A and B are shown apart, each in its own frame.
Chain A
Amino acid sequence: MATFEISPNQATTEAVEAHVLWITVGLSCEGDSVAMTSATNPSLEDIITGNIPGMPKVVIHNQVIAYEVGQEYIQAWFDAEQGKLDPFVLVIEGSLGNEKINGDGYWTGFGVNPSNGQPITVNEWVDRLADKAAAVVAVGTCATYGGIPAMKNNPTGAMGVRDYLGWNWKSKAGIPIVNIPGCPAQPDNMTETLVHLVFALAGMAPVPELDDAGRPVTLFGRTAHESCNRAAFYESGNFATEYGDDHRCLVKLGCKGPVVKCNVPLRGWQSHMGGCPNVGGICMACTMPGFPDKYMPFMDEDPNGKRSSQVAKFTYGPILRWARGQSIKRKYDKEPAWRHNDAELTTGYQKRW
């Protein structure tokens, strides 16, 4: 019996083998790799086992989950450099230190250079592999924009991948660096984008559309505020006055949601649970290029937000709230008058019996 094909040329596309080479040890905490293991849409197993019809076979090389140790693990990286693994997507986690400022020292690396026995810096791996990669993906705010290691007074000169390779850099397949910010990146944002790219490389889907900050538009088109289930409280000028036992809008307690591109309130943290402002945590802007310095101290109100929230609080907000409250109370919280047990039908139906 011929195999039923769910997607066009399924047998052909599923025969393609694509590798994902995931650098976990930029200047990072590896929170993105750890978060990736919690993804469910799709999960790691969905990707590895080819649970999605038509998806090319994906081999993931990531230190946190790899079976192989030491030389057996690192061999794939040397193979990629020599063109033996093709195509591959290079995923970079962690920011890149400025290796031009540290003399004989280095900021981060992995594996050993056989020619001199010294560690190979992450920057050197990027230099060796970027031009051979079909696509380069920066996951997490460290890799995308620098993040925490790149905050003011940092000693390493840390920067994001686009700062290092250039903001207009494109892969040999013509794809710009795909930024998936977040500290860590929302798990499904990572796995879903990787799958999207693999489909794109197999010619089955367009390359994800990116905004000026390199982010997929479908994921980062809205602000946290625009997806937040507390946003309506802002509209009616109704703001939380303390953390925890107060379910109203958090902007006066330091939430930066109105000026942060992020889909976590929409997608939850994992399996649609958790998150930030939607569950009571102030948005600290961890997906943004200006993170962290431009948003500190985190628990203080944003100056612009303060002005606009004052307007909402003292002008139209209370009027909206009052008017809606009244119409709910007087009209919508009451049943229509024809629902009763009297001996008369008042629904409007004209009896024919």
Chain B
Amino acid sequence: MALAETPKEQKVTVKQMSWDPVTRIVGSLGIHTEIDFTNQQVLKCWSTSMLFRGFDIFMKGIDPRDAHFITSRICGICGDNHCTCSCLNQNMAYSVKPPKLGDFAFNLAESADFMFDHAIYNDCMANVDYSEQMVKETNPAVLAKAENTPAPHADAHGYKTIADIMRALNAFTGEFYLETLQVARYTREMYCLFGGRHTHPSTILPGGCSANITQQTCTEYYVRLMRYIDYCKRTVPMHDDLYDFFYEALPGYERVGFRETDLVCWGCFDDPDHVDYDYRNMTTWGRHRYVTPGLVFGGELITTDLVEINLAIRIMLGSSYFDDWTDEETFVSQDPLGNPIDKRHPWNKVTLPKPQARDFADKYSWVASPRMEDRRTGKFIANDTGGGPFARQWVTAKAGLVDFGYVKATGESIRMVLPKTGFQPEMELEWKIPPWSNAIERQRARSYHQAYSALVALHNLERALVEIRAGRTKSWSDFTVPDEAISVGFHEAARGVLSHHMVIRDGKIANYQPYPPTPWNGNPRDSYGTPGPYEDAVQNTPIFEENGPDDFKGVDIMRAVHSFDPCLPCGVHMYPTTGKGKVRKVVHTPTGMC
């Protein structure tokens, strides 16, 4: 989307505005912008964060069996996603296939994590931007309209007007906010039944799950799951009403957080009947996942092949503080299928940090820029994860591969059947691929994904019970660690793609490169000058807030950023961010940046 064109003689008020730290996310994120208040448009955006621990440095040389315990600690909200991804990765390296019950345990734990994460993030964090208190402070006219707008699905969720929904989302006092805090607890109890603890699990291992899984485990999971499905029957229609109202009340709101539909999804939840964790068969078992992997350029689904996806990943430097690794050792020259592996691929990435002053015209971040190669053009695209659910559902819907009764992907939509629960009859939901990739649709997809995750859980629970009732109660398989191996784990964190690439030499870790969702979304301009997705989405955002520059809160910008579900410990687990030296060459000098 082009920036606002302004006649030369017009006096334009451009202000530098910063939000540092951005709250209601996990991690340290600063958003720095230039805003044209005359034309109500963001002109420039830089996203920064400030944290360095050095996981890939101190993991070198350790026993590969420690990888999941250590990498879990990369992130405090997707730690279990990291742990699981690392175990999938180790399963490939050790050529071990867990018993079916072990695979189901992974799916049941991870789907419970999504149920928890999407619930707490939507209604205790991101949707606070749409709460009565916030809308009152930023758009009183919109709140007035909401007071007089009946909620179309009032029968389903019980709130008569849109303003009633907004009130229910008020932080620490709203009824739905408080209920969701409670929901976010019993869903974590569900996680603990298979994972032991949240967010750094104790029972998720290479080879399977070490929880003692019994009928009792399943019963305790079952009752909570059905309660959650009941909750979804209220939450999805409520969110639909709220988000649709914003399109109606503020024409043009689809441009908030808008960017090209360039998406990545690695898929998740393996079907034990198909997965063997062998790289050479990854194309096939990847397509049997309960969430389909896929690569999307410009609104077109390019592939669902995990091998092809693996080959297309590139790590760029550009605006980040690293020396290139072109002269360093090449760990992997070809994959197990004989395909050539690029020097810029994660398997060959060598981290060569070079701290230096922050210069917004040149280098200004320690986050490298992951890109996907478009083989048709040879270009490198800044794909985003849509905050997780948006890309997962977009790809799954389009691919049309998933069909397990409760959920069916149609090619253009996903149909879900929520069975009868304690308080409500059966309900059908349909998520249709929206015409835009924007803030509202990322939020809406997250809401539908709560239901999607619950139905994946229900299906896997039923299959796990078949195993237990047949007496097949083993959930872990033994293995030995080979001297040499290369492997990859592809998984989804709640907020999007997660990959772990590993090289084992002499039985120890020679290289371990985790790429979580936030490097994909929160990266800076790359070596071609392409901005990262946060920056891109904020730069496309028009300003609808009624406040002027003096009491500006930036709610539209916060909605754009929050829609990606930022999680900064993941984003910058490997590198320090901006240096604290003086800026040498100042082109733009937004507040707090020089």
Q: Assess whether A275 is in contact with B199, with CB atoms less than 8 Å apart.
A: no
List A contacts of B24 (CB < 8 A): 63-67, 69
Which residues of A in the span 212-269 have a Cβ within 8 Å of any Cβ on B? 242-247, 253, 264, 268-269
Q: Assess whether A30 is in contact with B69, with CB atoms less than 8 Å apart.
A: no
- Which of the 9-residue segments B14-22, B153-161, B519-527 touches chain A? B14-22
In whole angstroms, how far apart are the Cα atoms of A67 and B133 in the complex?
Answer: 10
- A289 an interface residue at 8 Å Cβ cutoff? no
In whole angstroms, how far apart are the Cα atoms of A97 and B51 in the complex?
Answer: 10
Interchain nearest-CB distance for B75 vs A (Å):
5
- A195 an interface residue at 8 Å Cβ cutoff? no
Binary A-proximity of B7-43 (CB < 8 A = 1, otherwise 0): 0000000000011111111111010000000000000
Q: How many A-B residue pairs have CB under 8 A?
A: 284
Interchain nearest-CB distance for B455 vs A (Å):
23
Q: Assess whether A274 is in contact with B581, with CB atoms less than 8 Å apart.
A: no
- A281 an interface residue at 8 Å Cβ cutoff? yes
In whole angstroms, how far apart are the Cα atoms of A154 and B57 in the complex?
Answer: 7
Interchain nearest-CB distance for B531 vs A (Å):
21
Which residues of A in the span 38-71 have a Cβ within 8 Å of any Cβ on B? 38, 40, 43-45, 48, 63-71
In whole angstroms, how far apart are the Cα atoms of A276 and B201 in the complex?
Answer: 8
- A102 an interface residue at 8 Å Cβ cutoff? yes
List B contacts of A27 (CB < 8 A): 51-53
Interchain nearest-CB distance for A228 vs B (Å):
12
- Which of the 9-residue segments A105-113, A200-208, A319-327, A339-347 touches chain B? A105-113
In whole angstroms, how far apart are the Cα atoms of A352 and B467 in the complex?
Answer: 60
Q: Assess whether A298 is in contact with B192, with CB atoms less than 8 Å apart.
A: no
In whole angstroms, how far apart are the Cα atoms of A284 and B83 in the complex?
Answer: 14
Given contacts A67-B128, A69-B19, A243-B208, contact A109 B50 (CB under 8 A): yes
Q: Assess whether A38 is in contact with B211, with CB atoms less than 8 Å apart.
A: no
In whole angstroms, how far apart are the Cα atoms of A203 and B30 in the complex?
Answer: 40
Q: Assess whether B203 is in contact with A281, with CB atoms less than 8 Å apart.
A: yes
- B124 an interface residue at 8 Å Cβ cutoff? yes
Most buried by A among B75, B188, B355: B188
List B contacts of A179 (CB < 8 A): none
From B69, B171, B189, contact of A274 by CB (8 A): B189
Q: Assess whether B189 is in contact with A31, with CB atoms less than 8 Å apart.
A: no
Instruction: Please give me the residue from chain A that is nearest to B217 by CB atom.
Output: A279
Give chain A's interface residue range (CB within 8 Å of chain B): 35 or more
Q: Assess whether A34 is in contact with B200, with CB atoms less than 8 Å apart.
A: no
- B538 an interface residue at 8 Å Cβ cutoff? no
From B23, B211, B473, B578, contact of A63 by CB (8 A): B23
- B379 an interface residue at 8 Å Cβ cutoff? no
In whole angstroms, how far apart are the Cα atoms of A147 and B192 in the complex?
Answer: 23
In whole angstroms, how far apart are the Cα atoms of A264 and B201 in the complex?
Answer: 13
Most buried by B among A35, A156, A279: A279
- A288 an interface residue at 8 Å Cβ cutoff? no
Instruction: Please give me the residue from chain B that is nearest to A281 by CB atom.
Output: B202
Interchain nearest-CB distance for B129 vs A (Å):
9
Binary A-proximity of B574-594 (CB < 8 A = 1, otherwise 0): 001011110000000001111
Q: Assess whether B76 is in contact with A29, with CB atoms less than 8 Å apart.
A: yes
Which residues of B in the span 70-85 have a Cβ within 8 Å of any Cβ on A? 70, 73-77, 79
In whole angstroms, how far apart are the Cα atoms of A73 and B63 in the complex?
Answer: 42
- B151 an interface residue at 8 Å Cβ cutoff? no
- B102 an interface residue at 8 Å Cβ cutoff? yes
In whole angstroms, how far apart are the Cα atoms of A112 and B211 in the complex?
Answer: 45
In whole angstroms, how far apart are the Cα atoms of A22 and B323 in the complex?
Answer: 36
Instruction: Please give me the residue from chain B that is nearest to A141 by CB atom.
Output: B73
Q: Assess whether A67 is in contact with B192, with CB atoms less than 8 Å apart.
A: no
In whole angstroms, how far apart are the Cα atoms of A118 and B594 in the complex?
Answer: 7
Instruction: Please give me the residue from chain B that is nearest to A186 by CB atom.
Output: B197
Given contacts A30-B77, A106-B579, A148-B73, contact A281 B210 (CB under 8 A): yes
Q: Assess whether B210 is in contact with A152, with CB atoms less than 8 Å apart.
A: no
List A contacts of B54 (CB < 8 A): 149, 154-156
List B contacts of A173 (CB < 8 A): none
Interchain nearest-CB distance for A326 vs B (Å):
27
- A74 an interface residue at 8 Å Cβ cutoff? yes
- Which of the 9-residue segments B177-185, B291-299, B385-393 touches chain A? B177-185
From B58, B200, B205, B594, contact of A243 by CB (8 A): B205
From B61, B357, B576, contact of A107 by CB (8 A): B576
- A28 an interface residue at 8 Å Cβ cutoff? yes
Given contacts A156-B52, A281-B202, contact A297 B66 (CB under 8 A): yes
In whole angstroms, how far apart are the Cα atoms of A64 and B531 in the complex?
Answer: 26
From B134, B172, B184, B357, contact of A38 by CB (8 A): B184
Q: Assess whether A244 is in contact with B475, with CB atoms less than 8 Å apart.
A: yes
Q: Assess whether A153 is in contact with B21, with CB atoms less than 8 Å apart.
A: no
Binary B-proximity of A265-307 (CB < 8 A = 1, otherwise 0): 0001111011110011111101000001000111100000000
Binary B-proximity of A314-343 (CB < 8 A = 1, otherwise 0): 000000000000000000000000000000
Q: Assess whether B203 is in contact with A279, with CB atoms less than 8 Å apart.
A: yes
26 residue pairs from A and B, CB less than 8 Å apart:
A27-B51, A29-B74, A31-B76, A45-B181, A65-B124, A65-B171, A67-B23, A67-B171, A69-B554, A73-B21, A102-B355, A104-B357, A112-B18, A119-B20, A119-B30, A153-B57, A245-B212, A271-B186, A273-B189, A273-B192, A280-B196, A281-B211, A283-B202, A284-B202, A298-B66, A298-B69
Can you name 18 extra interface pairs (CB under 8 A) apart from A25-B51, A244-B208? A30-B26, A35-B76, A40-B185, A63-B24, A66-B24, A67-B128, A69-B24, A70-B19, A102-B355, A110-B21, A111-B20, A112-B18, A119-B20, A119-B50, A184-B200, A243-B203, A275-B202, A276-B197
5 nearest A-B pairs in the assembled complex, by CB-CB distance: A281-B202, A274-B192, A31-B76, A243-B210, A70-B19
